[in-house]
Structure 1
Amino acid sequence: MRHLNSISKDKFLKEPMNFNKYTNKDLLKYAVGSNLYMNALMDILKKIDKLKNIGTITICFEDSLREIDIEAGEDNVIASLNKLYKRILIGKSNMDKLPLIFIRVRNITQFINFSYKLSKENLELITGFIFPKFNSNNGLNYLEHLVDIEKEFSEKVYGMPILESEEVLYKENRIKEILKLKTLIDEYKGSILNIRVGGTDFSSKFGLRRSRGRSIYDIGVISNCLSDIVNIFGRCNEEYIISAPVWEYFSNDINSKEVKGLIKEIEMDKENGFCGKTIIHPSQGIYVNSMYSVSYEDYIDATNIIRLKKEGGVFKGYKNNKMNEVSPHYNWANRICNMAKVYGVLNENISYYDLFREVDYRSED
């Protein structure tokens, strides 16, 4: 799989790389990108066949499913994975063109029960599991069972905890809880692909919902919590990638308030240290992944900073419009170069909007 696969090659100085679940984790953690959630009862193969510009899907057993539908959802997912594996064996599907597939479990009990139904072939198609409402009370159970699955099947699978519980949100508990989670997650760092955050769940605790004209960063009580999560998990020496909360509005009209709001929020996600975003409609994928592609200007500056690491010093940036200090800007440059591999580098004078205009959004429904 590669991101932005329907975009013309002439838009890129360097095209996005190909990746799959076995790609080196140092790059794969950036590649989650726009992560499309879908209900476990859907026609999963049909959805996969229609995907464009999206490299990651998550099949959800939690909020999108009623309790009475869990067993039917599990049966549907396993049947879909079996069909997909057979298609690969007979050459009708290509493993290298599949999206990263994650399973968002409902709770620890459902995670354990569902995992007992999986086969080695199923696990070869699953990149990992997402753990909702992950906290210091249930987290160890999730991570221990994840490692048990890896050992039993001799197959790499990743975990992605979602920080969205009251323990993380409420101020009187927050720092103590996040530090507990950090200690726990550090012990299983090799199995953690992304840290995810639940903006909708956080907002619900206060009866809030951002409008189309506002971003999650305009809701002070939520923005404050997100900042603390980034402060503890987002430090460069920690090597964690934190994915941004879902944007709840969608439209096929690039000039709509829904799309303009999404673009504004992605810009803020990037400025605040997030990489990638949960999405709930296929049309949102092009915006997320395009905006994580690297501009020509940033790429030239970043590569020059890395080239001069040993020498250090200060120099003018590309276009003579900024100061590049090698030492303080090195971590930024390294992040830019990793994203350049995964999302590509745009040619000079090409903008994100040039990528947006290439897509037929009606085909993304």
Structure 2
Amino acid sequence: MMHLDLTRRALHLGATLYMPAINPHARRALLGEDLHGAGSVVICLEDALHANDIARGLESLRLSLLERRAGGDPRQRTMVFVRPRDLGMARRIADMDGIETVSGMIVPKLTLGNGPDWFALSRERGIALMPTLETAEYFDPFYVSQVRSMFDAAGREQIVAVRLGGNDLLNTLGLRRTGGRISHDGPLGYVLNMVSSQLMSHGYPVAAPVFDIIQDLDTLGAEVAMDIERGFIGKTAIHPCQVPIIHEALKVDRRDIDVAKGILDTSAAAVFQVGGVMCEPATHGAWARRMLARAEIWGVRGLALVENGETALRCAAGGE
């Protein structure tokens, strides 16, 4: 089933809204409030926080975690992750009272060198991780395969999802995003496809990088549609206006639901067609299960396909 349980868990991330630890909304998120409908929230003490604000950010996090723990267990609501600056800060945060109530930590700039220490911390403290791949090494396919082997050895249950740091990857090239173009068509296209396919094919869910031109919502819509088509389970958001666009893209077309159910029907033929498209349960089963899981979490888009008053789903080999 291509580790469907891991993918299902990761699909709940949806639009992952990042905010600095000193942002007043960070405390609200830690207290379990729904922030703009985001599927998940990251309290950031790394790139989103100036070095001068680190002490204030850590103290704010510490106090908010105490409030979070005292208020019961809010983990059934929005998933909340903490993004430390480095492993040393992660160890300090792991000692804070209430850290056990969050969904996990974001690992910044994970490499083969620092990865084992992060996974050791995860095992020791029972903290799930979302590794972020965002350094120059990830343009090398062999390096990616080595990191995947490290994940396998560490235990995939410790990983909620893998994140790709688009801006940091571009920075290694001395570039930044160009307005009006989706990331898959620009210089990141190669690394997004190569890294994600290596990981997804071994059952690791991967989240798409941020779209940082906040006012260009049309291009965001085009990019997240391509993200979903290529198998990404969610996307980083840096502004609330991006959340509904990402979540709309995560919905599943009614037609795909009908087809997925037909593929998973135990009485389905080995090969059949729907609307001129071949369906083969032996090779399309993973896609079908993924569609149904996505629909269960994010909903269905559009109406059922109707033809002559009946749903056009015919599971007869050789024709409609």
Q: Give the TM interval when normalised to the shorter protein.
A: 0.7 to 0.9
Find the counterpart in structure 2 of residue 305 from structure 1.
263
Residue 83 of structure 2 corresponds to residue 104 of structure 1? yes
TM-score, reference length from structure 1: 0.76
Matched to 1:208, the amino acid is L
- 1:81 and 1:249 map into 2 onto residues whose CA distance is 32
Structure 1 residue 315 and structure 2 residue 299: aligned?
A: no
Q: Retained in 1: the 8 A contact 2:6–2:204?
A: no
Q: Does 1:246 align with 2:210?
A: yes
Matched residue, 1:115: 94
Partner of 1:296: 254
C-alpha separation in 2, matches of 1:111 and 1:210? 30
| CA deviation profile, 1:14-61 (whole Å, cap 9, x unmatched) | xxxxxxxxxx65521111110000001111234664623212000011
Give the TM-score normalised by the residue count of structure 2: 0.87
Residue 140 of structure 1: aligned partner:
116
Tell whether the 8 Å contact from 2:21 to 2:61 is kept in structure 1 after alignment.
yes
- Corresponding position: 1:184 with 2:179: no
CA separation of 1:348/1:321 partners in 2, compared to 1, >3 Å: closer, same or farther?
A: farther
The alpha carbon displacement at 1:349 in A equals 6.7
SS in 2 for 1:210: coil
Q: Which amino acid aligns with 1:140?
A: P
Residue 287 of structure 1 corresponds to 245
* Residue of structure 1 equivalent to 2:49: 65
Correspondence 1:33 to 2:14:
yes
Q: Tell me, yes or no, if the aligned pair for 2:7 and 2:204 is still in contact at 8 Å.
A: no
Identity among equivalent pairs (%): 26
Q: Contact between 1:135 and 1:181, CA under 8 Å: does it hold in 2?
A: yes
Mapped partners of 1:343, 1:52: distance in 2: 15
Cα distance in 1 between the residues matched to 2:50 and 2:74: 32
In structure 2, distance between residues paired with 1:25 and 1:182: 15
Task: Describe the shift of the 1:25–1:175 C-alpha distance in structure 2 as closer, same or farther (beyond 3 A).
Answer: closer
Partner amino acid for 1:277?
K
SS in 1 for 2:105: strand
Alignment gaps of 5+ in structure 1: 1-23, 151-156, 252-257, 351-365
2:173 to 198, 206, 229: 206
Secondary structure in structure 2 of the residue aligned to 1:202? helix
- What is the aligned residue count? 297
Task: Render the CA deviation track for 1:232-274: whole Å, top value 9, x for unaligned.
Answer: 1011xx22110001000224xxxxxx01010000111112221
User: In structure 1, how many angstroms separate the alpha carbons of the residues matched to 2:109 and 2:272?
Assistant: 46
The answer to whether the 8 Å contact 1:293/1:343 transfers is yes
> How far apart in 2 are the matches of 1:50 and 1:334?
28
Structure 2: tracts of 5 or more residues without a match? 306-320
| Root-mean-square deviation over aligned CA pairs | 2.0
Q: 1:206 to 1:33 in 2, by over 3 A?
A: same
Change over 3 Å in CA distance of 1:100–1:303 after alignment to 2: same
Contact 2:91 2:121 in 1 (8 A): yes
Question: Conserved in 2, the CA contact under 8 Å of 1:312 and 1:327?
Answer: no
Matches of 1:25 and 1:275 in 2, distance apart? Answer: 11
Runs in 1 of length 4+ with deviation above 4 angstroms?
none
CA distance in 2, matches of 1:110, 1:95: 24
Do structure 1's residue 344 and structure 2's residue 299 form an aligned pair?
yes
The answer to whether the aligner puts 1:234 opposite 2:200 as a matched pair is yes
Q: Distance in 1 between matches of 2:199 and 2:230?
A: 13
